[in-house]
Each structure stands twice: as structure tokens, then as C-alpha cells.
Structure 1
Amino acid sequence: MEPILVYGVPAGSSMGLVATLEWLGQPYRLCRVDMLGEMREPPYLRLNARVETPALITDGGRVVTETMAIAHWLASRDPDHCISFAPQSPEQDRLVQVMAFINTGFTGAFGPLWTAMELSEPDPDYERQLRRLGTAAVIERHDKLEAMIGNSEFLVADHPTLADGVLIGVARWLDIHDVASRGRWPKLDALRRRIEATPAVQFALAIENDETPRGSGAMLEHVPLAEVIERYGTPA
């Protein structure tokens, strides 16, 4: 069987993994999850008890969660090094380093902002505190990433890799939360524009918008969430 990526909407970080699968070019399937609805209902716990996306159903039928674990799984099945590099090479070490930074501090910095946006009951004082905390953290992490960007066309190479996929699903949160202008970080802004312009990201965004774009042909179909849970989730 082909792997199935369980991706979240709206604006999930997993959009970048859809683009990454397009760059990889191997057959895959998708499963769409509404993070504000279906993901918070009891059946989803059978796929991921932490109530998060993304999740990957491997070609062996196992469930792999956490972005870095999924990225590792994809890299290990990339013999032509379309999205990764040779194991133990300096390039692969750099790739993992950058991905780890994005997946931890950079992504985590947005946590207070998401909490403020999703408060179940109005609490203006708490919301202001969360936004102040989140805004400072996001700016600081963007400053760090700006300093990490080198002279290559993309994050770690002159072609898109796993690092660009991990970044692009999260980078747009800066705009969603209206933290600061993208132009404050000119190297990162230019990098984002290059990644966003790739056909793979355009395809992933269209998929996220529930459209039916023509991609590379690697994406075979959408599998209903209920079917994925029934076949691959833990027993009810």
C-alpha cells in the first residue's frame, strides 16, 4: 500500500508535508481532518491520543505521529535524495539541524497566540498577556532563523527539501496572527516567496482549500477519516 498523510485544516503545519510528498514524487494518499471539529472528537484519539496533526500511515500500516518522525520516515525512503541528503553527510546534518529548530522553538513560539485565538470564553486581560508573550517569542525566533539563512536558493540547498516543507506550513502563521510585516525579515521573506511559488506548494494550498488541482500525479486519492481510523487506529 501507499502511505497516507493525515493533514489538518485550517492552516495546519502539515500543508508543508503535502508539498514535500509532491517533491518526493512517490505515490501517496491523503486524509483530511478538520482540526476544529473531527480532530477533537473521541474517534480521532485512536489515531493520535495527543489530538494533533500530522499523522502518517506507513506503507506497512503503522501510525507515525510527530513531524520530525514523519520527516525521518520520508528521508529514509528517498534513495535519490530528492528531499534529503546522504546519511551522515554534512548536508544531512544541516538539514536535520534546521528542521529541528523550526519544529521546536520556531513552531512553539506561536503557541500562546493560538491559545489566545482559541479561548473558549472571552478573557481580555489573559488574551493580551498571551499575545504579548507570543509576539515577543515569534519575533525572537524569526530573528534567529533570519540569521541562519545562507546563500542557497532554499533553506539548505538550491532545491526544496524537507526543511522547506517543515517551514512553509508554519511560516504563514506570522500573517495569520498579524505579528509583524514579513518584510521585517528580508531573507526569510524572499525564501518564503520562493517556496510558495513552487508547484508543489501551490498544489498543497489548493488541496487545503478543498480544491482538486493537478499535481505531479503522485497523490492518488483522499481516504475518508472514518476509514483510516477504522483500519489503522487502535481498537475501539
Structure 2
Amino acid sequence: MEPILIYGFPLGSSMGLVAALEWLGKPYRLCRVDMLGEMREPAYARINARHETPALVTDDGRVLTETMAIAHWFAARDAERRISPDPLSADGDRMRQIMAFINSGFTGAFSPLWVALEMDPPRPAMQASMREFGQEAVIGRHDKLEAMVGDTPYLVGDRPTLADALFIGVARWLEFHGVADPARWPKLAALRARLEADPAVIFATALESGDSVTGSGALRGHVPLTEVIDRFGA
């Protein structure tokens, strides 16, 4: 069977993994999940007890969670090296290093902003403090990632890799939370422009929005969440 990537909307970090599957070019299926609704329902715990996306149903029917684990699953099956360098090369080390930073400190810096946004019932004083802390953290992490960007068009070399996929799924949160002008970081802004013009990223973003679009042909269709839970849930 084809693997099934469970990805979230709106503005899920998992959008980048959809783009990575397009770059990889192997047959796959998707399951689109409302993170503000379906993902919070008790039944979803059968897929991920932490009620998070992404999740992956592997080609042998196992459920794999956590972005880094899913990305490494993709890389292990990238025999043509379309989305990952040779794992024993310097570029392979660099890709994993950047992925780890994006998936930890860079993504995590936004957490106070999401918590403040979703706090119910509202606690204005706490929310204001969390927003201030979160904005400072996001700016600091952008500064650090800007310093990590090299002279190549993408984060690792001349074509997008899994590092770029993880980045583009999260980068748009900067404007959503109104933290700062992306132009403050010229290298990251240029990278975003290249990725946002990439057909796979355009395709993944359109799917996230619920649009009916045509990609590379690797996507074999969407599977309803209820079916995924019934067939593969614990």
C-alpha cells in the first residue's frame, strides 16, 4: 500500500512534508485533518495520543508520529537522493543539523504565541506576557537561522531537501503572528521566495486550503480520517 501522510490545517507545519512527498515522486496518499476540530476529538488519540499532526501510516500499516521521525522515514526511501544528500556526506550531516534546529528551537519559539492565541478562557495579562516573550524568541531564532544559511540557493545545495520542507511549513507563521517583516532577514526571505514559487509547495499549500489541484501525479488521493482511524488506529 502507499504511505498515508496525515497533515493538518490551517497553517500546519506538515504542509512542508506534503511538498517533500511531491519532490520525492513516489506514490502516496494524504489524510487532511482540521487541527481545531477533528484533531482534538477523542478518536484521534488512536492515531496520536498527543493529538498532534503530522502522522504517517507507513507502507506496512504502522503509525509513525513526530516530524523528524517521518522525515527520516522519507530520507531512508530516497534512493535517488531527490530530497536528501548521501547520509554519510557532509551535506547529509548539514541537512540533519539544520532540520534539528528548525524542528526544535525555530519551531518551538512560536509556541508561546500559539498558546496565547488559543487560550480559553482568555487571561489578558498572561497572554500579553507570552506574546512579548514569543516575539523575542522568534526574532532570536530567525537571527540564528539567517546566520546558518550558506551561499547555495537552498539550505543544503542547489535543490530543495527535507530541511527546506521543514522550514517552509513553519516560516509563514512569522506573518500570521505579526512578529516582524520577513525582509529583516534577507537570506531567509530569498529562500522563502524560491520555495513559495516551487510547484510542489504551491500544490501543498493549495491542498491545505482545501482546493482541488493537480500535482506531479504521485498523490493517489485523500483518505478520510475516519477510515484511517478505523483501519490503523491503536
TM-score by length of 1: 0.98
Could you tell me which residue of structure 2 aligns to residue 116 of structure 1?
A: 116
Question: Structure 2 CA distance, aligned partners of 1:66 and 1:122?
Answer: 29
Moved over 6 A (4+): none
Unmatched 5+ residue regions in structure 2? none
Could you tell me which residue of structure 1 aligns to residue 19 of structure 2?
A: 19
Matched to 1:166, the amino acid is L
Look up the SS of the partner of 1:191 in the other structure: helix
Instruction: State, as a whole percentage, how many aligned pairs show the same letter.
Output: 65
Could you tell me which residue of structure 2 aligns to residue 2 of structure 1?
A: 2
Question: Structure 2 CA distance, aligned partners of 1:5 and 1:130?
Answer: 32
1:119-158 superposed Cα distances (whole Å, 9 cap, x missing partner): 1112211110000110010000000000000011111111
Over the aligned positions, Cα root-mean-square deviation in angstroms equals 0.5
Could you tell me which residue of structure 1 aligns to residue 180 of structure 2?
A: 180
Look up the SS of the partner of 2:221 in the other structure: strand
**1:159 and 2:153 matched:** no
Could you tell me which residue of structure 1 aligns to residue 75 of structure 2?
A: 75
Deviation of 1:2 (Å): 0.4
Could you tell me which residue of structure 2 aligns to residue 40 of structure 1?
A: 40
Deviation of 1:85 (Å): 1.3
1:209-231 superposed Cα distances (whole Å, 9 cap, x missing partner): 10111100000100000000010
1:107-127 superposed Cα distances (whole Å, 9 cap, x missing partner): 000000000100111221111
Could you tell me which residue of structure 2 aligns to residue 214 of structure 1?
A: 214
Could you tell me which residue of structure 2 aligns to residue 64 of structure 1?
A: 64
Could you tell me which residue of structure 2 aligns to residue 224 of structure 1?
A: 224
Deviation of 1:87 (Å): 2.0
Aligned length: 234
Question: Structure 2 CA distance, aligned partners of 1:232 and 1:93?
Answer: 33
Matched to 1:5, the amino acid is L
Question: Structure 2 CA distance, aligned partners of 1:40 and 1:122?
Answer: 19
Matched to 2:46, the amino acid is R
Question: Structure 1 CA distance, aligned partners of 2:194 and 2:157?
Answer: 13
Matched to 1:225, the amino acid is L
Deviation of 1:18 (Å): 0.4
**1:126 and 2:102 matched:** no
Deviation of 1:172 (Å): 0.4
Could you tell me which residue of structure 1 aligns to residue 233 of structure 2?
A: 233
1:8-54 superposed Cα distances (whole Å, 9 cap, x missing partner): 00000000000000000000000011000000000000000011000
1:175-218 superposed Cα distances (whole Å, 9 cap, x missing partner): 10000000110110010110110000000011011011110000
Could you tell me which residue of structure 1 aligns to residue 50 of structure 2?
A: 50
Question: Structure 2 CA distance, aligned partners of 1:233 and 1:133?
Answer: 37
Deviates more, 1:83-92 or 1:130-139: 83-92
Could you tell me which residue of structure 2 aligns to residue 197 of structure 1?
A: 197
Unmatched 5+ residue regions in structure 1? none
